[in-house]
């Protein structure tokens, strides 16, 4: 995936192949900027870091900085050109870090620090949007004899059964994804648990959020979710670097003590993103504003739609602070949604 000519190193980036919440609407970045502002309030500081894990081409951080610069966070007006150049607006200074193995794209905001690994010891918000689903996992399948074995894959994507699953992987399955009989499959999420714990450990204080298509122990898909994507279409998952390889995430297994798991629909509603139509009266008093509000409502509806982006899971992990109560936070302005 990240080798020479690999899928994630291509010039078009992930956005050339599939649509994420970040690409769907700037409302998503604005909502994350509001969450960043609330994290800063809980930290008791006006200087806060935001770390984007799996940053793609920097689209989310670009949107967050725009939301802060334009005063769409906490109702603050944008600062002077000098303040904006340093990342400061009235009341909030943002230190943005993009964590990505692909090279830094040209023309990216110079305030964004591009890194291969997350910085250690930061205070702020760590955000991983559709990152964990690309952390590699082993696939297990229960054979006709009831034995759970690893699934081996050839370069052309064809499969065959391997050795029985034992040790820590077997323990993980017993706890998080018990098998339901011959022919059923599981994606052993232990590497994702470890990757998430390592990412969270880089925060000294703040909030870590993982956003992904997810499932929980009581509703695991019996045949797994492994698939591929290329140019906007679902394709057979062939491990040759020519397509995206993805599998949904057992976010409940990733959760550390104190975490909260909720759906994107609920999370974005709490952050002021709603698909409600603007009042028709606005069309006669301010037609341009009505058109803008109608467009925003359509984008919000896509971000929160059941059966679509609204079904994403949000794993919210506090580190040294309380979990944000987004619905009652006075620092969040929802007027732009």
Could you give the CA distance from residue 265 to residue 249 in angstroms, rounded to a whole number? Answer: 17
Whole-angstrom CA distances from 336 to 89, 289, 333 are 18, 12, 7
Work out whether strand 260-263 and strand 203-212 pair parallel, antiparallel, or are unpaired: unpaired
Q: What is the pLDDT of residue 4?
A: 74
Structural contact between residues 314 and 249, judged by C-beta atoms closer than 8 angstroms: no
pTM: predicted TM-score of the whole model, two decimal places? 0.86
Q: What is the pLDDT of residue 79?
A: 46
Q: What is the pLDDT of residue 76?
A: 37
Q: What is the pLDDT of residue 180?
A: 84
Structural contact between residues 184 and 142, judged by C-beta atoms closer than 8 angstroms: yes
Q: What is the pLDDT of residue 13?
A: 65
**What is the sign, positive or negative, of the torsion defined by CA atoms of 8, 226, 179, 315?**
positive
Longest alpha-carbon distance in the chain: 71
Residue 231 dihedral angles phi and psi, to the nearest 5°: 50, 45
Q: What is the pLDDT of residue 91?
A: 62
Q: What is the pLDDT of residue 17?
A: 56
Q: What is the pLDDT of residue 222?
A: 95
Q: What is the pLDDT of residue 335?
A: 33
Q: What is the pLDDT of residue 3?
A: 75
Helix axes 287-304, 26-43, angle to 10 degrees: 80
Q: What is the pLDDT of residue 11?
A: 67
pLDDT per residue of the chain (337 residues) written in tens, 0 to 9: 777 777 777 666 666 556 677 877 788 999 999 999 999 999 999 999 999 999 998 999 999 999 998 877 753 334 444 443 344 445 689 999 999 998 999 999 999 999 999 999 999 999 999 999 999 999 999 999 999 999 999 989 999 999 999 999 999 999 999 988 999 999 999 999 999 999 999 999 999 999 999 999 999 999 999 999 887 788 999 988 888 899 999 999 999 999 999 999 999 989 988 766 766 666 667 667 657 666 666 677 777 878 777 789 999 999 999 998 765 443 333 333 3
Q: What is the DSSP letter of 196?
A: H
Q: What is the pLDDT of residue 63?
A: 94
DSSP symbols for 14-50: GGGT---HHHH-HHHHHHHHHHHHHHHHHHT-SEEEE
Q: What is the pLDDT of residue 23?
A: 78
Q: What is the pLDDT of residue 9?
A: 72
Could you give the CA distance from residue 235 to residue 243 in angstroms, rounded to a whole number? Answer: 8
C-alpha count within 13 angstroms, C-beta hemisphere, residue 213: 16
> Of 299, 293, 334, 263, which Cα lies nearest the Cα of 24?
299
């Amino acid at each position: 995936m990240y080798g020479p000519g690999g899928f994630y190193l291509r010039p078009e980036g992930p956005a050339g192949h599939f649509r994420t919440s970040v690409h769907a609407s700037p409302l998503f970045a604005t909502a994350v900027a509001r969450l960043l502002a609330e994290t800063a309030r809980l930290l008791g500081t006006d200087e806060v870091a935001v770390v984007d894990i799996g940053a793609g081409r920097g689209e989310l951080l670009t949107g967050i900085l725009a939301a802060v610069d334009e005063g769409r966070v906490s109702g603050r007006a944008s600062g002077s050109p000098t303040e904006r150049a340093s990342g400061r607006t009235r009341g909030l200074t943002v230190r943005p870090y993009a964590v990505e193995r692909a090279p830094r794209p040209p023309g990216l905001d110079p305030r964004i620090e591009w890194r291969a690994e997350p910085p250690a010891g930061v205070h702020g918000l760590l955000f991983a949007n559709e990152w964990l689903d690309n952390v590699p996992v082993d696939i297990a399948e229960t054979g006709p004899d009831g034995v759970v074995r690893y699934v081996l894959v050839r370069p052309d994507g064809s499969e065959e059964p391997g050795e029985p699953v034992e040790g820590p992987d077997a323990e993980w399955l017993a706890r998080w994804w018990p098998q339901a009989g011959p022919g059923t499959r599981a994606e052993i999420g232990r590497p994702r648990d470890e990757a998430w714990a390592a990412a969270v450990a880089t925060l000294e204080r703040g909030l870590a959020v993982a956003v992904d298509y997810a499932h929980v122990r009581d509703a695991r898909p019996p045949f797994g979710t492994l698939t591929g994507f290329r140019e906007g279409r679902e394709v057979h998952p062939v491990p040759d670097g020519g397509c995206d390889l993805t599998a949904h995430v057992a976010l409940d297994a990733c959760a550390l003590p104190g975490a909260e798991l909720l759906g994107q629909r609920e999370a974005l509603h709490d952050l002021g993103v709603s698909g409600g139509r603007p009042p028709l009266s606005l069309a006669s008093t301010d037609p341009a504003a009505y058109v803008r509000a109608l467009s925003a409502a359509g984008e919000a509806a896509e971000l929160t739609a059941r059966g679509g982006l609204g079904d994403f899971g949000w794993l919210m992990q506090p580190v040294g602070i309380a979990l944000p109560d987004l619905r009652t936070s006075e620092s969040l302005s929802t007027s732009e949604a």
